[in-house]
Amino acid sequence: AAGSEQEPPMDCDVEVGLLDDSAQCQEGQLRVRTAIAQEREEGIRRIQCQVSEVSTMLMDLASIVQDQGVHLDTLESSAQASSDNTKQAALELRKASDRQRGNRERMCCLLVVAVAVLVFVILPQVGALHPRMSPAQALPPRPGGGAGGGAASPGGR
């Protein structure tokens, strides 16, 4: 209290002290509430930042999953095409094997026919062109011997 003013009675001092305490108390509460509000705001900002980071991660993950899906589709179509091509190749190999077997059988038949023609048609024709010789004619002539090359007959001289 100031020196020129009169001091209030004791009861007023108590009321003034209570009012001062009440104002300080309210001011302290206001500071506490302000601090709590600031902490809440900071917490909310951190949460917003974390949610934004999670959102970014999920979008990145979705992009990766989509890319992987495209790659899987490509792999699946390639595997299907390979399977189809393998089946077609196996079919073509069977056809080629059957054709080769048929060609071999045809060649064997042609060889048998050629041998038969040779034996039954050409060789008899060649034999007909050359007269058959008697066994005596087929022997080579003996030196100093007769024209027949045969043995002398017993009633001969």
The per-residue pLDDT for range 83-133, each reduced to its tens digit, is 999 999 999 999 999 999 999 999 999 999 999 888 888 877 877 776 665
Question: Which residues neighbour 143 within 8 Å (Cβ) at sequence distance 6 or greater?
Answer: none
Question: Comparing 118 with 42, which gets the higher pLDDT?
Answer: 42
Residue 120 in any domain: the answer is no
Cα 93 to Cα 101: distance, rounded to the nearest angstrom? 12
pLDDT of residue 16: 45
pTM of the model: 0.41
| Averaged pLDDT for residues 28-52 | 95
Residue 105 in any domain: the answer is no
How many domains does one find in the chain? 1
Question: Which 3 state secondary structure label does DSSP give 28?
Answer: helix
Residue 29 in any domain: the answer is yes
Under 8 Å between Cβ of 149 and 140: yes
Q: What percent of the chain has pLDDT over 90?
A: 55
Residue 81 in any domain: the answer is no
Residue 92 in any domain: the answer is no
Question: Comparing 69 with 16, which gets the higher pLDDT?
Answer: 69
Residue 48 in any domain: the answer is yes
Find tokens 């302000």 and name the residue.
34
pLDDT of residue 92: 95
Cα 146 to Cα 40: distance, rounded to the nearest angstrom? 148
Q: Which domain holds residue 42?
A: 19-70
- What number of CA atoms fall less than 13 Å from residue 46's CA on the CB side? 6
Cα 151 to Cα 136: distance, rounded to the nearest angstrom? 10
Residue 26 in any domain: the answer is yes
